[in-house]
Chains A and B, each alone.
Chain A
Amino acid sequence: MKVLTLPFHYVAWHYSHGVADLWQTFTNILWFIKSFFSFKILLRTMFMPWQRLRERYDRRRGLGDIIGSLFINILMRIIGTIIRSVTLLVGAFVYVLFLIIGLLFFIAWFLIPPLMVFLFITGILAIIFNGQFDLNEVVI
């Protein structure tokens, strides 16, 4: 018999602890996005050469070599900066996207229980009043 009270307990949880847990999950995923795209590291190393690849100077080998090395090093920094910027942008986009999705989900969370009940009852009615029930009317 105790199990009959379960839906009521569920509803109580859904609008109390459930919200808190959802918030915790939301912050966990935000933490994960930050960690996955390494925002802090990418910002800190924004202008560093791509994967720290650099050509070493050898003063004895003349100006041509020095300029060559300098060119490669600048190129590596540019590549690094571009890739990091792109990654940061993608990361920021995902972050913002998740913020929006998260927010929508939060709103949806409050609607889920009545929506579920509604779907369930609709299903029952569709079976019981088979043929006499305009499904389109209900769904619309």
Chain B
Amino acid sequence: MTISALKEKAEAFYPAIAFDLFLPYSLRKWIRLALLLIALFTIVGLSHIIVPIGYVVDKEFFAGIFFISFSLWIFMHLLEGMYYSYYFHDHEMYFEVAQILTYHDDLTVSFLTLPIGKYVMYRCGLSESEVKSFLKARKKTMTSNDFVLTDMTPRDRVTLADFGFSLMKHDKDFAYFLFERGIGEEMFRGAIDWVSSNMYLMRNSQRWWSRTQLSTIPSLGKNWSYGQVPILERHANLVDTHLAPLTDTKIDRLFSDDVIAIEQVLMKSREANAIIISDDGLTGVDIIRTMASHIARGVSHPYFEDKRIFIMHGTSFLESAGDLFVQEFQALLNEAQSAGNIILVIQHLASFVERAHTKGIDVVSIMEPYLNSNVSIVALSDTKGYHRTLESEVLITRFFEKVVAHALDEERTLILLQNEVYALETKYGVLFSYPSLIAVVQSAQRYFGEAVLADKALDIIHEIIPEIRSQGKKLIKKEDVLRVVETKTHIPQGVHSKKHKETLLSLEEKLHDRVVGQQPAITSIAKTLRRVNAGVSRTKRPMGTFLFAGPTGVGKTETAKALADIFFGGKENLIRFDMTEFSGLDGLQKLIGSTGGEVGLLASALRERQYGVLLLDEFEKAHSDVHNLFLQILDEGIFTDTRGESISARNVVVIATSNVGSELWSEATKNLTAEDKRAKLVDYIIDNRIFKPELLNRFDNIVVYSTLKENDLRDIARLQVYALRDRLKQQGIDLEINPFLLAYVVSKGSSNKFGAREMQRAIADTIESEIAEKIIAEKVHPGDTITFSSSQGEGEFLLSISPMRKN
């Protein structure tokens, strides 16, 4: 759509735009109040205060003031009425778009200067001064002739989001300004959508004469024509339509399909009961609230117009009623039946039934006589609970119709949060930026895999608010969310700290300090971790998955240890499993738990430490069932233990090591490239059916560790000897590192079969033992320096001690 076509449409809003420009919205209410006070003062004040105390006043002058202020007061109200009329009129575009199109020829200036644009930028987490400096530094202005509206959403009205999206496409400077601050196109569109929706809600809430607002006032007749329910009121709550996300059409859209499904069940002439099953068991509450709001607004089926919905927490009722539970529950159901217009919602039915069962009470049997009466029961349950307890209950499957609620994915959770945040912002005087809200949802998804997304996201929100308030800040930014998540999970978030950035950028170098050679492996790990931390890789997988193949003692395990230490902040962040222990038929059970109640080792290790390196030594030796488990873990980063709980492995780097194919490498293959070696190894593994091809495919990289070369061995010797010197220094003893010592260690410790591991043994058997003897015999004291030098015998050495110089 061209600019002229857009401006033509915008003309329909002209009177309201002109009015808003002349008197901004925020100023108008003060003007109205001032005019009213002046009018009142000229009548009341004049006759009751000034004249009685003896002042001589000019009555005509005051009367004139009264007529002017009163007429202007009425006029202001009427103008306001006109403003609302245009604002909500069903034109081909939204009011705000029209306002921007007519305010300034440079549409970017127009957008960023008007209050709506300022609000959008603030929601993007950008301060007013940032925006001002951008406008000041802007070299190229964008005339409206450059602008064409593209990518409209399939709606018949031009939304502010459509406009903003097109603006970003046409004004490259503006787009760059946003990109530079981490605001992409979709994020910008989302922020605008949120602001528009809030603005609409705010304006609408002030139109007391709209049907939406009038519907929030409860009616008289319902309570008089239907029975009283004191017991029900004691144990359950009337679903409050005032607090329900009534007016937000987005929220309505989220649950409307589910609401229709429930309404259809409840309108049945018999057995009108439903069970809403959702992953979290809580989505049902939102569906019920939406349904209640439809009833209040008179937009639901006429069948529901006089219904009252009560929601009851079964387990709490069970506990509070104590021994009288059965009688109370029956009385409650009788009451609901007699009342004649009750829809009873029972939360967490599965746990209610289970808990009652432990007390020898059969809840479902108590409900049975009422399941085919004029009281409708809606049960809510989480999926696991349903399968665990309710599915096998004949009465449940017979009398309750199953409605599976649409799962709340990230996008739906974000919409739900926007609605929840609206009330919290007003209450606590804070403002969430849109990127911060996205960070909340993403963090909830990534780091709290075991719990319900919306629930965990709300938890994070409730934790951030007091923290931000205590800092005296108002705007909650993405970084604030990441900091809270970091505190909660101890997982560094994103590339926000300088130290973290430096570690990532120099990861190869730092790993090489610990691991000798193995360039391809280390490069591969470093690249993967940089991708993950920059947020460009898939999040619903482990942070990285590698298969390290190669002979023993070449640095596979050392790489994993070094990674845990350098990147994840400590050796304790290494979870290590020797997979030979899981080679039997019970291997899988040992890892994920058994039906007998035994806790799985992998499940409990990951529950305890969800961030670090998961090292699977000798992976090929695990049972094929274990391989199948890892097929899922490597792919989705999540698995379910025998208790039915989801365990996340999305914050670990999975490193599987294997010695397979060691025999492939010889002198003849030493000149092969890393890629050729990898291909040769993969062929070997598949030909010998060591791993299934699909399992191999799941690894981000298969890295072949080469046999150590002569210079690698020398480097390892140096590392080992330096490590020994560090240990000795802790006792105040120094070790001189000379060419002889290094050559000696290499000669004793070189082994094709055991790699560098042999070197450790050699140092322990010879050098360390010799020093130990001297320490015990008190021939070496703190401050002394030990030197090894050659002796006459081949392979022998001479140990000399230089005592500390005494003055």
Contact = CB atoms under 8 A, between A and B. Distances in A.
A6 interface: yes
Contacts, number: 153
B85 A51 contact: no
A35 B298 contact: yes
Interface in A91-140: 112, 116-117, 119-120, 122-127, 130-131, 133, 135
B226 A52 contact: yes
B684 interface: no
A12 B12 CA distance: 13
Interface stretch (A24-32, A57-65, A67-75): A24-32
Nearest to A35: B219
Interface stretch (B73-81, B467-475, B631-639): B73-81
A133 B338 CA distance: 73
Interface stretch (B15-23, B104-112, B120-128): B15-23
A69 to B, nearest CB: 15
Interface residues of B, number: 51
B306 interface: yes
Interface in B458-474: none
Contacts of B79: 6, 10
Interface in B1-49: 14-15, 18-19, 21-22
A14 B339 CA distance: 49
Interface string A35-47: 1111111101100
A126 B67 contact: yes
Interface in B260-307: 298, 305-306
**Chain A CB within 10 Å, residue with most, of B58, B67, B306, B340:** B67
A58 B410 CA distance: 59
A51 B21 contact: no
A130 B60 contact: yes
Interface in B43-97: 58-61, 63-72, 74-75, 78-79, 81-82, 85-86, 89
A38 to B, nearest CB: 2
B220 A28 contact: no
Interface stretch (B207-215, B411-419, B506-514): B207-215
Contacts of B63: 123, 126, 135
Given A83-B224, A112-B74, A120-B67, A25 B60 contact: no
B223 interface: yes
B217 interface: yes
B214 A87 contact: no
B67 A84 contact: no
What 9 A-B pairs are tightest by C-beta distance, nearest first?
A38-B221, A123-B67, A126-B64, A52-B227, A123-B68, A9-B15, A127-B64, A45-B225, A119-B71
Given A35-B298, A38-B220, 12 more contacts: A3-B19, A18-B85, A38-B222, A40-B305, A52-B225, A52-B228, A80-B225, A84-B224, A87-B221, A120-B68, A123-B64, A127-B60
20 contacts: A6-B22, A28-B211, A35-B298, A36-B220, A38-B220, A38-B222, A41-B225, A42-B225, A45-B225, A45-B226, A51-B225, A112-B78, A120-B68, A123-B63, A123-B69, A123-B71, A126-B64, A127-B60, A130-B58, A135-B63
Interface of B: 14-15, 18-19, 21-22, 58-61, 63-72, 74-75, 78-79, 81-82, 85-86, 89, 209-211, 214-215, 217, 219-228, 298, 305-306, 338-340
